[in-house]
């Protein structure tokens, strides 16, 4: 019987959610939905020294924004809970004890001070096959001494005992056959002095307990795979081990190394899904959402970082991604992050979206700039007129504020050198023709051209002044479309006010 697909996104609540983390969640989600499986959010909060208040809620918010609501999570619950590792603390001790009893792990009593001294003494010191014989642990101490230390509640950690001269091999669904030499791997801590498990023990125990079928995680976890595989084997669960999928890195724009928050700060773009404010320092790190990205575009661009469907198609809805996603089409090589390309995706999504879809977000953008845009019918018209000009949702305010607030100033340098009393007379006459509703943009333009001829002007001589009267500057969509959206009365008022300003 084929194993039911159950996958998990398992972040640590230590701060903002990097776009690489969101992509890991996305690939988990797509795979689960494609196979009618289960997408799980599990919070790996065993490292209490790095725990940040509010980070879990932030992660949940990011997933919701992206349209990836987990089927099981700390918030939603499920048959395999609890879904926070800190709440599963008591379940891990038994596995550490089992590993010790079977000779696959040991107690290490070395103090932090002793370990620091050893690191100073030995260059590139690692605790493992070559060094554990000279350390204070249950492999080097007499049984009676170990028993006494334990009885006296002497602090210790539990370390895995890496075997000598073994080759740990497995099949990765992206990378194929992968092997590791155990002689080169150190004895990782499995259980910390406070009784909490490290990632290595907890992830294996929880993946087994939650019946995880496939492990999608970043390439940076590949060196940990042999430790986890040995734990699956040592704990007697080898037949239940999930399939491995180590995703390629998201690289800096120049391709040299993994994309980091510092790169975003340095190059002027976000790497977090949403704004993150550090609760200790108050420092704000900007996110894609607040910068003005549509969630659909954000998901689309992430999917294309390391995956494609084998065609030239670049724009995908979530439904299309679920339908077309395949592990076989994930690249082994890292994917360079290109912010200009990211904005292209967003522009395409904005351009193709119905005004009604964009309206709530655009209204919020206007409100954030102190612009009252309560007329939804007008706002919808404005969105349709200017969406082709916006790569970010936040640009709607810059591109469309003049529809709701008449210009407070004009680009006079573009008008005054060629401004004449005759032009002022033309616009006074044209404004009188605007009285009455129901004209189309084309009809407005025809009247404009006819009147220009009657006043011995070429229409081109008058178009720029007309635009600046309505908008304030040399930008915006078709000027007659603007006039129609503003309505006759507002257009007339703007013409009259501008004629006075131009004549000064």
Q: Report the Cα 200 to chain-centroid distance in Å.
A: 25
Cα 258-259-262 angle, rounded to 5 deg:
120
Which tokens go with 286? 């900007």
Total number of residues shown for the chain: 504
Q: How far is CA 358 from CA 140, 212, 349, 396, in A?
A: 67, 38, 10, 10
Taking the C-alpha atoms of residue 135 and residue 106, their distance in angstroms, rounded to an integer, is 12
Contact 63, 17 (CB under 8 A): no
**DSSP symbols for 319-374:** HHHHHH--GGGB-SS-EE--HHHHHHHHHHHHHHS-HHHHHHHHHHHHHHTT----
**DSSP symbols for 85-123:** GGGGGGGTHHHHHHHHHTTSEEEE---HHHHHHHHHHST
| Tally of CB atoms within 10 A around 178 | 17
**Residue entry with tokens 């290490």:** 108
Residues 6+ apart with CB under 8 A from 350: 294, 297, 358, 387, 390, 391, 393
Q: Which of 261, 336, 447, 449 is catalytic?
A: 261
Is there a catalytic annotation at residue 416?
no
- Which stretches does DSSP call E strand in 14-71? 38-41
- CA proximity to 14, closest of 280, 403, 407: 280
| Tally of CB atoms within 10 A around 101 | 9
| Tally of CB atoms within 10 A around 84 | 18
| Tally of CB atoms within 10 A around 112 | 9
Taking the C-alpha atoms of residue 273 and residue 288, their distance in angstroms, rounded to an integer, is 5
Cis peptide, bond prior to residue 82, ω within 30 of zero: yes
Taking the C-alpha atoms of residue 12 and residue 146, their distance in angstroms, rounded to an integer, is 34
Residues 6+ apart with CB under 8 A from 143: none
What DSSP element (H or E) covers 494?
helix 488-502
List the beta bridge partners of residue 215.
244
Taking the C-alpha atoms of residue 500 and residue 504, their distance in angstroms, rounded to an integer, is 7
First to last CA, the chain: 86
Q: Which residues are catalytic?
A: 261
């Amino acid at each position: 019987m084929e194993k039911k697909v159950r996958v998990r996104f398992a972040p640590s609540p230590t701060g903002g959610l990097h776009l690489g983390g969101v992509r890991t969640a996305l690939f988990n989600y797509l795979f689960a939905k494609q196979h009618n499986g289960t997408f799980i959010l599990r919070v790996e909060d065993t490292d209490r020294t790095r725990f940040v208040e509010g980070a879990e809620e932030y992660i949940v918010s990011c997933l919701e924004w992206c349209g990836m609501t987990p089927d099981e999570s700390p918030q939603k619950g499920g048959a395999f809970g609890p879904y926070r590792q800190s709440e599963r603390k008591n379940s891990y001790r038994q596995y550490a004890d089992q590993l010790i009893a079977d000779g696959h792990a040991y107690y290490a009593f070395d103090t932090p001070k002793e370990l620091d001294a050893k690191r100073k003494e030995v260059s590139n010191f690692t605790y493992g096959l070559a060094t554990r014989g000279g350390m204070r642990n249950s492999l080097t101490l007499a049984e009676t001494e170990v028993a006494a230390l334990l009885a006296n509640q002497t602090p210790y950690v539990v370390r895995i005992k890496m075997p000598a001269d073994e080759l740990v091999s497995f099949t990765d669904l992206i990378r194929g056959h992968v092997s590791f030499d155990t002689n080169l791997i150190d004895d990782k801590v499995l259980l910390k002095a406070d009784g909490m498990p490290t990632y290595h023990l907890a992830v294996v125990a929880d993946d087994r307990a939650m019946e995880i079928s496939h492990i999608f995680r970043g390439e940076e976890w590949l060196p940990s795979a042999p430790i986890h595989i040995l734990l699956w084997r040592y704990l007697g669960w080898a037949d239940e081990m999930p399939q491995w999928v180590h995703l390629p890195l998201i690289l800096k724009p120049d391709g040299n190394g993994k994309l980091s928050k510092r790169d975003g700060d340095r190059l002027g773009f976000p790497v977090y899904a949403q704004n993150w404010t550090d609760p200790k320092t108050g420092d704000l790190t900007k996110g894609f959402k607040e910068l003005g990205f549509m969630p659909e575009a954000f998901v689309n661009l992430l999917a294309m970082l390391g995956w494609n469907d084998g065609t030239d198609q670049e724009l995908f809805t979530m439904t299309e991604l679920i339908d077309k996603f395949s592990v076989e089409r994930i690249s082994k090589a890292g994917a360079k992050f290109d912010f200009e390309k990211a904005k292209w995706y967003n522009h395409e999504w904005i351009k193709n979206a119905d005004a009604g879809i964009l309206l709530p977000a655009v209204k919020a953008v206007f409100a954030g700039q102190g612009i009252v845009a309560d007329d939804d019918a007008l706002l919808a018209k404005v969105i349709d007129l200017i969406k082709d000009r916006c790569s970010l949702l936040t640009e709607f305010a810059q591109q469309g504020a003049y529809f709701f607030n008449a210009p407070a100033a004009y680009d006079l340098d573009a008008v005054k050198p060629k401004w004449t009393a005759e032009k002022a007379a033309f616009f006074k006459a044209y404004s009188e023709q605007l009285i009455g509703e129901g004209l189309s943009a084309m009809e407005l333009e025809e009247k404009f051209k006819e009147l220009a001829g009657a006043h011995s002007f070429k229409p081109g001589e008058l178009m720029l002044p007309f635009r600046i009267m309505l908008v304030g500057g040399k930008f915006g969509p078709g000027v007659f479309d603007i006039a129609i959206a503003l309505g006759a009365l507002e257009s007339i008022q703007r013409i009259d006010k501008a004629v006075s300003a131009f004549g000064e």
